[in-house]
């Protein structure tokens, strides 16, 4: 019995020794295993390319245009100017039939005359009551009544005078005058038509200032900024060109054409730049100077954006933080963080860690 127990103990000790040797051997094998080398696809950062100039076509308009309209409605009695007419400041361009407005003025004037008569009567009564009160012939109540009647009559005169002034203004509204010199570019009504208040009767282009107006697609409009210099050439006129700057960009696209209207203020245009003339514009594309890399290279970590950059000597990667100017599903423009010649991982970035060795496949230039 003792011999059997001794044999069992020896067997257990031997088994434990074998297991310990096996575990130590596995540890040595794991420690001796070489590090994993990841295969990655990369691009080499190149200097940014100069974007081509932006070109577009448009026409010439006056820098300031005014739509002249009546402040009241009525029947258009006469329109004194037509398209192409030169208009001076203060010149009458159209008139409404003023008969109804004149009748209102006459009625207001008659009401004023009646109110002035009542005021004279109330003044006389007040003066009479004042003298009688001084002689103790009338009562205080009669004097106060005469004073109140005088105050009411004076208020009626003030109201009647205000109605007369208002009626005179309305009569003046039946005459439409130009508030500045210019050229008539459109007319909106003909004599004998009944027009509503605010309807355009004459469109006037100011003489000072010319704009080149362009309808630009959304992709070009994103590259244009207010104040950007633009070179404008008159179509069909050799040597007729002028410089200008973007003065206004429409905040909303046209609902029909889906284009944005851009107005370029011209600097000292020649007389050949007539209203409506066709022109072509060209401008240096914005955004030049930004480094561009594939959008697949970007890695988001801790709310920051970066890329894996390969060290060409040790073939190890390190995560570098970036400032991204703009990006779309295809490419990203980097404003800060990359240098020319950097090797950036574009595929396989999700399996990398800091300091890991990589092997480059399909290296490209970017």
Per-residue pLDDT, 5: 54
Indicate the pLDDT class of residue 207, thresholds 50, 70 and 90: confident
3-state class of 18 per DSSP?
helix
Indicate the pLDDT class of residue 264, thresholds 50, 70 and 90: very high
Tell which residue, 174, 235, 178, 245, has the closest CA to residue 205: 178
CATH number of the 98-172 domain: 1.10.287
Tell whether the model's pLDDT for residue 244 goes beyond 50.
yes
Give the span between the Cα atoms of 42 and 366, in whole angstroms. Answer: 9
Give the span between the Cα atoms of 297 and 309, in whole angstroms. Answer: 10
Helix ranges restricted to H, 135-183: 140-172
- Asked if CATH classification 3.40.640.10 holds for the domain at 55-64+207-283, the reply, yes or no, is no
Instruction: Label residue 302 exposed, middle or buried (CB < 10 Å: 0-12, 13-18, 19+).
Output: exposed
Domain segments of the chain: what residues? 38-50+289-365, 55-64+207-283, 98-172
Give the span between the Cα atoms of 267 and 248, in whole angstroms. Answer: 15
Q: With contact defined as beta carbons under 8 Å apart, do 109 and 164 qualify?
A: yes
Q: Which of 58-62, 204-208, 238-242 has the highest mean pLDDT?
A: 58-62
Pairing status of strand 74-79 against strand 92-96: antiparallel
Q: With contact defined as beta carbons under 8 Å apart, do 58 and 274 qualify?
A: no
Tell whether the model's pLDDT for residue 2 goes beyond 60.
no
Query: What is the mean pLDDT of the segment spanning 61-76?
Result: 91
Tell whether the model's pLDDT for residue 295 goes beyond 80.
no
Give the span between the Cα atoms of 173 and 179, in whole angstroms. Answer: 14
Tell whether the model's pLDDT for residue 300 goes beyond 70.
yes
CATH architecture assignment, domain 38-50+289-365: Beta Barrel (2.40)
Indicate the pLDDT class of residue 357, thresholds 50, 70 and 90: confident
User: What does the block give as tokens for 346?
Assistant: 């574009």
CB-CB neighbours of 251 under 10 Å: 7
Mind listing the pLDDT tens digit for each residue in 113-137? 999 999 999 999 999 999 998 888 8
Indicate the pLDDT class of residue 149, thresholds 50, 70 and 90: very high
Helix ranges restricted to H, 178-280: 218-221
Query: How many Å is the maximal CA-CA distance in the chain?
Result: 160
Q: Percent of the chain at pLDDT above 70?
A: 83
More confident residue, 356 or 141: 141
Mind listing the pLDDT tens digit for each residue in 20-56? 555 555 554 445 445 667 777 787 877 776 666 788 8
CB-CB neighbours of 119 under 10 Å: 20
Per-residue pLDDT, 366: 47
Tell which residue, 180, 211, 202, has the closest CA to residue 274: 211
Radius of gyration of the chain measured on its C-alpha atoms: 45
Per-residue pLDDT, 11: 54
Per-residue pLDDT, 22: 53
**Sign of CA pseudo-dihedral 249, 250, 253, 259:** negative
Query: What is the mean pLDDT of the segment spanning 258-287?
Result: 85
More confident residue, 238 or 130: 130
Q: With contact defined as beta carbons under 8 Å apart, do 184 and 87 qualify?
A: yes
Per-residue pLDDT, 155: 96
Q: With contact defined as beta carbons under 8 Å apart, do 77 and 99 qualify?
A: no
Per-residue pLDDT, 125: 93
Provide the CB-side half-sphere exposure for 75 (13 A, CA): 6
Indicate the pLDDT class of residue 260, thresholds 50, 70 and 90: very high
Instruction: Label residue 188 exposed, middle or buried (CB < 10 Å: 0-12, 13-18, 19+).
Output: middle
């Amino acid at each position: 019995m003792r011999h059997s127990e001794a044999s069992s103990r020896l067997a257990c000790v031997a088994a434990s020794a074998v297991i310990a040797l096996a575990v130590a051997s596995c540890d040595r094998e794991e420690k001796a295993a070489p590090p994993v080398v990841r295969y990655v696809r990369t691009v080499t950062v190149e200097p940014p390319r100069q974007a081509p100039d932006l070109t577009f076509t448009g026409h010439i308009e006056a820098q300031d245009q005014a739509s002249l309209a009546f402040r009241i409605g009525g029947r258009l009695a006469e329109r004194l100017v037509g398209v192409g007419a030169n208009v001076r400041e203060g010149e009458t361009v159209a008139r409404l039939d003023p008969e109804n407005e004149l009748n209102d003025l006459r009625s207001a004037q008659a009401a004023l005359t009646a109110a002035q008569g009542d005021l004279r009567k109330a003044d006389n009564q007040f003066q009479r009551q004042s003298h009688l009160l001084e002689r103790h012939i009338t009562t205080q109540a009669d004097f106060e009544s005469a004073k109140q009647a005088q105050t009411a009559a004076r208020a009626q005169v003030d109201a009647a005078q205000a109605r007369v002034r208002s009626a005179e203004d309305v009569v003046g509204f039946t005459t439409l005058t130009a508030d500045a010199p210019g050229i008539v570019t459109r007319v909106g009504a003909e004599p004998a038509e009944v027009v509503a208040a605010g309807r355009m009767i004459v469109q006037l282009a100011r003489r000072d200032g010319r704009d080149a107006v362009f309808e630009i697609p959304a992709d070009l409009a994103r590259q244009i900024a207010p104040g950007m210099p633009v070179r404008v050439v008159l179509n069909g006129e050799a040597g007729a060109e002028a410089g200008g700057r973007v003065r206004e960009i429409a905040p909303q696209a046209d609902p029909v054409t889906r284009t944005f209207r851009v107005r370029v203020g011209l600097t000292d245009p020649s007389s050949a730049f007539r209203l409506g003339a066709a022109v072509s514009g060209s401008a240096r594309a914005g955004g030049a100077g930004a480094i561009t890399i594939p959008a697949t290279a970007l890695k988001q970590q801790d709310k920051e954006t970066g890329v894996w950059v390969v060290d060409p000597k040790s073939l190890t990667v390190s995560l570098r933080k970036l400032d991204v100017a703009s990006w779309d599903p295809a490419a990203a423009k980097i404003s800060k963080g990359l240098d020319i010649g950097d090797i950036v991982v574009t595929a396989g970035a999700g399996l990398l860690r800091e300091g890991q060795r990589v092997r480059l496949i399909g290296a490209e230039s970017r």
